[in-house]
């Protein structure tokens, strides 16, 4: 049985939970982070010295960093070449989106998420939020352009690239205050992804 440490409203935890559903894996989840605490306790820090969530425990194997965790789960438990493509060029292309998500998309989107979802309207820095919204819109335009002529981000099937990018798309589409442009390719792809049970179960719930 896998153990996943982390609160269910964390996007990085959600990616791991959704990945488990895609792979049909059973797991136990233990709340940690923010109001649940535990992530700065010595026992947790011994597993994950960053004190962040998620952390995966699989027997005597412990792993942190959400995208590394989902790669591991797909390699260890997935049918070869499905969620994590086997062909090097397709795999590298999918990996590019996983790296881009953590290096570029998440840092850009984070101020928007915190500003609109975790900050009261009275306390919002509207100038900062407008600048962040403009930056994030540019990134979603990159995805929209990339999706032209494609059903999925890479290859012909749903991969970890779709899973990761959709987890952040849910946040962008879920911030009702944002004035979003109409991005037809992105919306077509996103609507298709939202039909997946793992998305509905772990990512679609209200943003908190």
Ligand X SMILES: N[C@@H](CCC(=O)N[C@@H](CS)C(=O)NCC(=O)O)C(=O)O
**Please, what is the Cα angle at 151 between 149 and 153, to 5 degrees?**
90
Measured CA to CA, the distance from residue 9 to residue 13 in angstroms comes to: 7
User: Residue 12 interacts with ligand X (CB under 6 A)?
Assistant: yes
Q: Is position 39 an interface residue for ligand X (rule: CB under 6 A)?
A: yes
Of 45 and 130, the one with the shorter C-beta distance to ligand X is: 45
Cβ distance to ligand X smaller for residue 37 or 197: 37
**Nearer of residues 10 and 159 to ligand X, judged by Cβ:** 10
For helices 66-77 and 88-100, angle between their N-to-C axes, nearest 10 degrees? 150
> According to CB under 6 A, which one of 4, 29, 52, 111 is a site residue for ligand X?
52
Residue nearest to ligand X (CB): 33
Instruction: Give the DSSP letter of residue 105.
Output: I
By C-beta, is 144 or 198 nearer to ligand X?
198
Q: Which of 37, 42, 76 is nearest to 56 (CA)?
A: 76
CB 53 within 8 A of CB 33: yes
List beta partners, residue 30.
Answer: 5
Q: Rounded to the nearest whole angstrom, what is the least distance from the CB of residue 102 to ligand X in the complex? A: 5
65 binds ligand X (CB under 6 A): yes
Contact 135, 110 (CB under 8 A): no
Cβ 50 to ligand X shortest distance, Å: 7
- The site for ligand X (CB under 6 A) is made up of 10-12, 33-34, 39, 52-54, 65-67, 102
């Amino acid at each position: 049985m896998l153990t996943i440490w982390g609160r269910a409203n964390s996007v990085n935890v959600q990616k791991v939970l959704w990945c488990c559903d895609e792979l049909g894996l059973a797991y136990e989840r233990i709340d940690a982070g923010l109001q649940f605490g535990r992530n700065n306790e010595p026992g947790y820090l011994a597993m994950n010295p960053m004190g962040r969530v998620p952390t995966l425990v699989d027997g005597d194997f412990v792993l942190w960093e959400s995208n590394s965790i989902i790669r591991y789960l797909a390699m260890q438990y997935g049918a070869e070449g499905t969620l994590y493509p086997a062909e090097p060029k397709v795999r590298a292309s999918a990996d590019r989106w996983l790296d881009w998500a953590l290096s570029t998309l998440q840092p850009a989107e984070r101020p928007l998420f915190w500003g609109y979802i975790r900050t009261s309207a009275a306390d919002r820095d509207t100038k900062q939020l407008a600048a962040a919204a403009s930056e994030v819109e540019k990134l979603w335009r990159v995805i929209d352009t990339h999706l032209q002529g494609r059903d999925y981000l890479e290859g012909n099937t749903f991969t970890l690239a779709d899973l990761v990018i959709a987890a952040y798309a849910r946040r962008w589409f879920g911030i009702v205050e944002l004035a979003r442009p109409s991005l037809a390719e992105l919306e077509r792809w996103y609507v298709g992804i939202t039909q997946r049970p793992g998305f509905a179960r772990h990512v679609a719930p209200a943003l908190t």
